[in-house]
Amino acid sequence: MRSLSVIRAPKELLIEDLGRHGFGRYGVTEAGACDRGSLKLANRLVGNPESAPALEMLLGPAEFLCHDNLIFASTGAKLKLEVDGVQQPQNCAIYVKAGSKLEPSMPSRGVRSYLALHGGVFVEPVLGSSSYDTLGQIGPKPLRSGDLIEVGPPTTFVQSELAVAPVSELANHPTLRGWWGPRVSWFSANSVAKLQTISLRVTERANRVGVCLQGGDLVRTRDDELPPEGVLRGSIQVTPAGDTVLFLADHPVTGGYPTLGVLDTWSCDRAAQLRPGDILRLQLRQCCADASHGAIEIKQG
Amino acid sequence: MDLGSEGREHHLSVAHRLGPDAILIDLPIGVSPRVLSQKLLDEQSNQLIEVVAGETTILIRFTDTSNLRIEDIFAMAELIYGKLPEPSGRTVEVPVKYDGPDLERVANSCNMDIEEVVRFHTEARYVVEFIGFAPGFGYLGGLNERLHLPRLPSPRKAVPRGSVAIADRFCSIYPSASPGGWNIIGETNLAMFDQNTDPPSLLRPGDEVLFKQCQ
């Protein structure tokens, strides 16, 4: 089997696909790439199915040694990518020869980058997925320096016609969008209205489970406990201390804090690239009743 | 009959949309989330990606091609009204060393000494109502009312594996190290989750759980 080794692991080096689904009733969360869009793009660029397992890197720098001829693509966080000391573009399929050294730098924007390999990273799936879940510690263990990464058999490579996929740069002060959630009425109308107009700051408390924001100042109108209920990737919860938490891929299956809203697909991916200190805004709207699934008895908040 | 400001009323389910492909339903008292989730999985699994039963709610993620309507789900809820989930018949005994970081605060908040907290905690018989939060994390109902306390205002970033903790009317055991906001009163070395067994969770809904003090 073709392979490459980890010479130098970044802060976190994980194998992720599009997640583990259907085990929520045992408390098993979806996991998978935090920035799904970047994983899908990396896989498309190298001719894999979008869901193929690839590498998710948190920060950098990192160094890999290829033992075989490989085709790879780097997406997600913006970084400087070198192959044998020569700079190469991201968001582009790159052919490397056996013996080549791959060196992604520390990202200058965003925090998570993806490295897809033609053929996909090969590991034994656990509960139907090759993803690592940091919350439940399920799936292929995080990779360290010295580890060998096996690459699946080459499939028919469909060469992308794009030299470099156009990817817009991660904006400095992003606006994350989504919809109001089921427990808006747990907060004062004033503080909920104000939330749309203020800037929130990303704290140091950020990982694959969620990103904790400061500055929401949401005022609860009731102080009883919410019965634990299901949450999603992208759920926005507010702790009793007033912190706003954006859930990422390794979110708990159920949560006990009221869900204020849910992020849309793009914003879920963008949230996975937030850095401590980043400033953002939230823009939430009512979920329209006829979006899908026919008529629905909706009660907002 | 009004059962709260969220509109949960007798025989009335309320659906909240959670983005484009999921809903959360507040179920009326008398409709067990556990029974409804089982019925959905038995009859409609090809339309569903995920069903998560909460304490009084059910969260459903639909497939892209699902044509399941909310009315169908409400009709199902009507059908199972009054149907209680069945006990599993299993009993799991959990050995606990009562030395958690929150034990003293719990005792103070409940106007007890530590021995009383341990006694109240070990005397109760618990039932796994549902599994959520993290893999194998069972919500155990049956906690003595005198030990009902809110969660921490800010969750801890890391709670050790095996922590025995209480919050509100529930007790639970953290199956792996994770963030968490519950009050930790002790620890156990029992393995709660094994990804290589089927089902992977030691606790299953309907199991009886007993806690036993050990040193």
Could you tell me if B116 lies within 8 Å of chain A, comparing CB atoms?
no
Name the more confident of B2 and A62.
A62
Domain boundaries, chain B: 14-79, 91-213
How many CB contacts within 8 angstroms connect chain A with chain B?
192
Could you tell me if B114 lies within 8 Å of chain A, comparing CB atoms?
no
Could you tell me if B176 lies within 8 Å of chain A, comparing CB atoms?
yes
Task: Output phi, psi for A266, to 5 deg.
Answer: -60, -40
Cα(A297)–Cα(A286) distance, rounded to whole angstroms? 14
CATH class (in words) of the domain with range B14-79: alpha beta
Q: Are A230 and B132 inside 8 Å of each other by CB?
A: yes
Q: How far is A101 from chain B (nearest CA, A)?
A: 35
- The Cα angle at residue B201 between residues B197 and B204, in degrees rounded to 5: 125
Average pLDDT, chain B: 90
Instruction: Dump pLDDT digits (tens) for A208-220.
Output: 999 999 988 889 9
* Contact residues on chain B for A208, CB-CB shorter than 8 A: none
User: Contact A71/A151 with Cβ under 8 angstroms?
Assistant: no
Of A139, A228, A298, the CB nearest to B139: A228
**What is the fold of B91-213?**
Cyclophilin (2.40.100)
Q: How far is B57 from chain A (nearest CA, A)?
A: 6
Best of B24, B55, B60, B196 to substitute, by most chain A Cβ atoms within 10 angstroms, is B24
Residue range(s) occupied by CATH 2.40.100.10 in chain A: 175-285
Burial B79-90 (b: 16+ CB within 10 A, else e): ebeeeebeeeee
Distance of CA A130 to the CA centre of its chain: 15
Cα(A192)–Cα(A204) distance, rounded to whole angstroms? 24
Q: How far is A207 from chain B (nearest CA, A)?
A: 10
Strand pairing partners for B9?
A: B2, B12
Q: What pLDDT was estimated at residue A143?
A: 98
Instruction: Dump pLDDT digits (tens) for B66-108.
Output: 888 888 898 899 899 989 888 888 999 999 999 999 999 999 9
pLDDT band (50, 70, 90) for residue B9:
very low
Q: Are A298 and B37 inside 8 Å of each other by CB?
A: no
Residues 3-62 on B with a CB inside 8 Å of A are 5-7, 14-24, 26, 37, 41, 49-59, 61-62
Name the more confident of B199 and A68.
A68
Best of B26, B31, B52 to substitute, by most chain A Cβ atoms within 10 angstroms, is B52
pLDDT band (50, 70, 90) for residue B62:
very high
pLDDT at B2 over 90: no
Of A135, A139, A232, the CB nearest to B19: A232
Instruction: Dump pLDDT digits (tens) for A32-41.
Output: 999 999 999 9
pLDDT band (50, 70, 90) for residue A288:
low
ipTM of the predicted structure?
0.88
Nearest CA in chain B to A135: B178
Q: Are A239 and B139 inside 8 Å of each other by CB?
A: no
Is the domain spanning A175-285 CATH 3.90.70.10? The answer is: no
Burial A203-213 (b: 16+ CB within 10 A, else e): bebbbbbbbbb
Q: What pLDDT was estimated at residue A156?
A: 67
Place of tokens 């740069």: A169
